[in-house]
Amino acid sequence: MDAATQDELLALQTEVEEIDQQIMLLLGVRFRCTDQISAMAREQGLDAIDAPYQAEQLSSIQTMAMEAGVPSELAATILTAVLDVAAEHDRRLREQPYS
C-alpha cells in the first residue's frame, strides 16, 4: 500500500471512530431522555410498555434508515436492543424503587 492510500485509509478509519463516538454520546442522551419518560410513566401509574408508541417508533426509524442508506433490519435490531436495555432498567426500578 502506498503512502497516499495509507493516509486515505487512516482518515477513513478515524472518521469511523468519530462516528462511533458520536453514536455512543447520542445513545447516552437517549437513555437519559427515556429514563425521564419512564419515571413520568411510573409517577402517573402508567404501564411500562406503550406498544402502539413502540410500533410507531419502529416504523419511523425504519423509514429514517432507508432514507439514510441503512438497512431497515439493522435499524430494527438496534432499536430493539436499545428498548430492551431501557425496559430492563425500568423493570428494576418498578420492582425495587429505592434500591
What are the residues binding a second copy (CB under 8 A)? 1, 5, 8-9, 12-13, 15-17, 19-34, 36-37, 40, 44, 53, 57, 60-61, 64-65, 67-71, 74-75, 77-79, 81-82, 85
CB of 47 to a second copy, least distance (A): 13
From the CB of 44, what's the least distance to a second copy, in Å? 6
Q: From CA 38, how far away is CA 44, in angstroms rounded? A: 10
Integer-rounded Cα Rg, in Å, for the chain is 19
Rounded Cα gap, residues 46 and 96, in angstroms: 17
Decide: 95 and 40 in contact? Cβ < 8 Å: no
Comparison of 17 and 94: residue with beta carbon closer to a second copy: 17
Which is closer to a second copy, CB of 27 or CB of 49?
27
Query: What is the residue whose three cell numbers read 478509519?
Result: 13
